[in-house]
Amino acid sequence: MVGIKRLICQSHELQEGGKGVRFDLPEVGDRVTGFAVRFDGKVFAYINRCAHVPIELDWSPGEFFDATGNYLICATHGAYYQADTGDCVAGPCRGKRLEPIQVVEQAQQILITLKV
């Protein structure tokens, strides 16, 4: 496996508990997207796919957090996920988790590494 590193956005584009950044993942499959969010001062990235049914989470592009800014939520199923682990804590997929993407923040940039 080879790791492909790719720039997703600039650090200032991710605000704590705010709007996430979506990105295409052609390396994973057709029409597969990922997203990155900032939570508790750190950046987390996941495949944009609910653990219950493979549908994108955001209710509007980039809107992944619930009203409190503490949980990621699936707009279709109402499943709640911990932002830092991707673990589902409420909803139809409780006990499952989002698929993480390796992400790093360096030199004011957000970069992901995909293993292909």
- Between CA 96 and CA 68 the distance in angstroms is 22
In words, the CATH class of domain 15-100 is mainly beta
Break the chain down into helix, strand, coil percent, rounded to 5: 5, 45, 55
pTM score, whole prediction: 0.94
Going from the first residue of the chain to its last (116 residues), give the mean pLDDT of each consecutive group of 10, the final group possibly shorter: 87 95 90 96 97 90 94 93 96 93 96 86
Q: Where are the domains of the chain?
A: 15-100
| pLDDT for residue 62 | 94
| pLDDT for residue 1 | 62
Q: Are 99 and 46 in contact (CB under 8 A)?
A: yes
User: Residue 37's CB: how many other CB atoms inside 10 A?
Assistant: 25
| pLDDT for residue 8 | 96
| pLDDT for residue 53 | 87
